[in-house]
Chain A
Amino acid sequence: MTSPSTRKVNEVPATLFLIRFRPLWDYIEVARELGKSFCQGTFSDPALAERARLVIQEALENAVKYSAPGSESELELQITTEGEHVEFSIGSRPDPIHLHSLREELERVCANEPQQAYIEAFTRAAMEPEASARLGLARMRFEGNVELSVVEEPGGRIRLNAKSVI
């Protein structure tokens, strides 16, 4: 049997990792470190594992902050592979008012190349010291080296997808 650390990517099943949990801040660290360890063991690439750590942290922070109240607000973190890509997918049920903000923010972040978009996010944070940082998506894209997209699902759920080259 091939150990995860020596397994080639094309031998790995498409869905590799899936956890579901309540949108509580305290669970973010657990999910983040689990996802990082999983990537480190599966892909044998410390840089990818570090990027995974960052992407999972920032995506879950947003999901926890903006989840609608109620028992259906379960979060889902899924890591899959497709060819030479690894995709981090975070499912959540946001308060509807935040879905519009998320789409606007994503559009803004993706309008420029990743480094420029991150510097613009820095500038905005500097100019608006009383507002929240709003660096997360730009940071995921630049530092995490991922392509971002949002998919709406039935029942008011969404999925934030972050795709990276392995």
Chain B
Amino acid sequence: MSNLSSIAVPKIDSLTLAVSEADGLVLTGTIASRDPNPTIGAYFKKVHEQLLATKPSKFTVDLTGLTFVNSSAVRLFIDWAMWIGQAGKTPPYKLHFRIARSITWQQTNFTALQSLAPNVIEIESK
């Protein structure tokens, strides 16, 4: 996990991105920018590339504090799932999303994402 700490975290006003030894990546706040891809998407891509090198069996992304996102942000998670799916016949690692039962957008979107990439996505509702 320490290698991930060396990746520069983008500074977004409404969002806190933190790498945790225990929890993987923790996102807190909201994402509603016009194009989050050059900042957050680029960061996710670097994390993904690092994970391809370190080969964990799964990587946890804790979203329980991410209260609102627009559809451009939903796209970031779709892209991440696709990168893993395209990395080989067997996914190199699983993306484990920790989501909040009380936050509706998380339930609907990650259920849809899991149906798109069932071998890649794990969901843990808290």
What residues make up the interface of A, taking CB atoms closer than 8 Å to B?
A: 25, 28-29, 32, 47, 50-51, 53-54, 57-58, 61, 65, 115, 118-119, 122-123, 125-126, 129, 133, 135-136, 139, 142-143
CB distance from B14 to the nearest CB of A (A): 8
CB distance from B49 to the nearest CB of A (A): 16
Secondary structure at the A interface, as helix, strand, loop or mixed, is helix
Tell whether B52 is near chain A: CB-to-CB under 8 Å. no
Cβ of B100 within 8 Å of any chain A Cβ, yes or no, is no
Pick the interface stretch among B3-11, B19-27, B77-85, B89-97: B77-85
Let me know if A136 and B116 touch, CB within 8 A.
no
Contact A119 B32 (CB under 8 A): no
The one of A57, A125, A143 that contacts B78, using a Cβ cutoff of 8 Å: A125
Query: Are B32 and A142 touching (Cβ within 8 A)?
Result: no
Determine the residue in chain B with the shortest Cβ distance to A47. B104
A129 touches B82 (CB 8 A): yes
Q: Which residues of B contact A54 (CB under 8 A)?
A: 68, 105
B63 interface contact, C-beta 8 A: no
Q: Which residues 23-70 in B have Cβ within 8 Å of A in the complex? A: 32, 34, 68, 70
Closest to A28 in B: B32
B75 within 8 A of A: yes
A139 contacts B78, CB within 8 Å? no
